[in-house]
Structures are given as structure tokens and as C-alpha cells.
Amino acid sequence: MTVEEAVIKLRTYYMRQHRLPSIQELSDLFLITKRAGAKWADKLVQAGYLGKDEKGKLLPTGLFRIPKLGLIHAGYPAPGDALQDESVDLYNYLLKTPGTIFSLVVKGDSMIDAGINDGDLVLVQKSREPKNRDIVAAFVDQEWTLKEYRRQDNEIILVPANVNYPIIRPKQSLQIGGVVISVVRNYY
């Protein structure tokens, strides 16, 4: 088995179980002995795909690293600007604020002019205080919605990014669940 094959198996396991395997489970996953499983874990730590905490528990520190190959121009065509040895690690990107990020699937088109479409996945940071014009997940008058947060004078309003929807002025209650920090879209 190659390192790449091991990484694919680990990613699949992580996506199904929402955690990394123990050494015994890793051995079972790779169909090898527990001793060989421990060696594979060390090999994957050395390769940067896994890490270990202070108790020796495996962490997915580089497991979800995606190669970053360069820049591409979206204006006029131009030569690509190549980058070397860089990657984006989604786990570490989210780990900057552990335990404070959750995701929501967007339903509806009230935020399309902000680049958020029906079916997109938004990452929301719940510990962040909203600033004017942040996009927020808000619990307003006993219902959840995704809108732009605006403070006008002494009033907070929720503004859609689509002219076909009205501005929301809370009648009874407003609680901000978090601030949108990222949007993920699949094109397939």
C-alpha cells in the first residue's frame, strides 16, 4: 500500500465516522497487524498527513490538504503565476477557531447578490460579534434566516441580497447565531 492509498482510506474513514481511527482500527482498516498499524501512523505523521496530541491521539493535521498550484486570472487571459510547495489545509483553516464553526446548507435565493446560492454550504463562526454588513445566521421572531446584518440608529435590521425580498425588522426577538466566514459551492 502506498502513502496515497493510505491517505484515501483515512479520508474515507474520517468522512464516515467523523473521527480518526485508533491504532487498532487503523490496523483493521489497512488489514495489517497492530504493530504495523503503529508504524503506519508514525509514517503518516512524518509525512505531515497526521499529527498527535499530547496524549498520542491522532489528529488530521494535513489529511485534508488540497494542493494550491497557483493563480489564475479571471479578467483578461494572462500567464499563470505558479506557486511552489503550497497547499490549503481545510482542517487547519477551520482549527484557527476550534469549536466555534458550524456549517449550514442554504435553501433559497435571498442572498444571491452576495454570491450565496441555493444549495451552497456556508461556514458560520458562532463566537464572532457581527459588524455592520456581515452576513449572519439569525434567529428572528422564532425563525432562522441568512441575511446581512445592519445597525441603523438604534435598530438592527436584516437585509436580503436580492431585491425580491423585503428587509426584516425584528418584531419580537433577534438572536445572532453566528457570522458567515466562508461559502462552499459544488459545481457538479
| Residues designated catalytic | 110, 147
Nearest to 22 by CA among 4, 49, 2, 40: 40
Q: Look at the block and give the residue holding cell 491517505.
A: 7
The residue count for the chain: 188
The cell for 130 is: 457581527
Distance CA 159, CA 21 (A): 44
Q: Bridge partners of 101?
A: 125
d(CA 11, CA 132): 38
Rounded CA separation 102/169 (Å): 25
Reported for 24-29, long-range contacts at CB under 8 A and 24+ positions apart, including other chains, are: 26/58
Please tell me the distance from the alpha carbon of residue 136 to that of residue 19, in angstroms, as a whole number. Answer: 28
| Residue 81 three-state SS | strand
